[in-house]
């Protein structure tokens, strides 16, 4: 087997939105982006065993790609996740919790970043209380 020559985008403290976009493009290229829309267990309900197996294979591929796109620092946040969908939800939660406005930073840009993260989090079905 030939080693992958792909440069995987790495998540950092300040690039979640761009990282997510790159990850989605990579998952789309690897034909497993659709598995990120909902928990794999929900997608598997009421489908044929063959299709169920295909979904589980896609989820495994997506989880593998996500793990390759995060540093060891972020691995702890996703270890307990049972699906690729849950992994990204955990990372979104962490991105929201670690967002800080740096001294001298543009406050408007900070609010835009916060709004993007909240929107991303809500896409996973999570709700943010005031």
Q: Does residue 32 register a pLDDT over 50?
A: yes
Query: How distant, in Å, are the alpha carbons of 5, 26, 92, 96 from that of 78?
Result: 24, 19, 11, 15
Q: Name the pLDDT band for 2 (thresholds 50, 70, 90).
A: very low
Residue whose token pair is 């309900």: 45
The answer to whether residue 18 scores a pLDDT higher than 50 is yes
Judge contact between 66 and 87, C-beta under 8 A: yes
Tens of pLDDT, residue by residue over 38-80, are 777 777 788 888 988 999 999 999 999 999 999 998 999 999 9
- For residue range 94-125, what is the model confidence (pLDDT) as tens digits? 776 666 667 777 878 767 777 776 776 666 55
- The CA-atom distances, in angstroms, between 49 and each of 27, 55, 84, 129 are 23, 10, 20, 39
pTM comes to: 0.71
């Amino acid at each position: 087997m030939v080693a992958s020559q792909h440069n995987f985008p790495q998540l950092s403290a300040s690039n979640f939105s761009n990282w997510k976009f790159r990850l989605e493009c990579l998952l789309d290229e690897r034909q497993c982006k659709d598995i990120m829309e909902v928990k794999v267990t929900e997608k598997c309900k009421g489908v044929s065993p063959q299709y169920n197996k295909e979904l589980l294979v896609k989820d495994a591929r997506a989880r593998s790609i996500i793990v390759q796109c995060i540093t060891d620092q972020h691995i702890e946040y996703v270890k307990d996740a049972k699906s690729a969908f849950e992994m990204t939800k955990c990372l979104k939660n962490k991105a929201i919790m670690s967002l800080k406005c740096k001294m001298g930073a543009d406050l408007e840009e900070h609010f835009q970043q916060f709004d993007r993260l909240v929107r991303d989090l809500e896409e996973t079905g999570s709700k943010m209380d005031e």
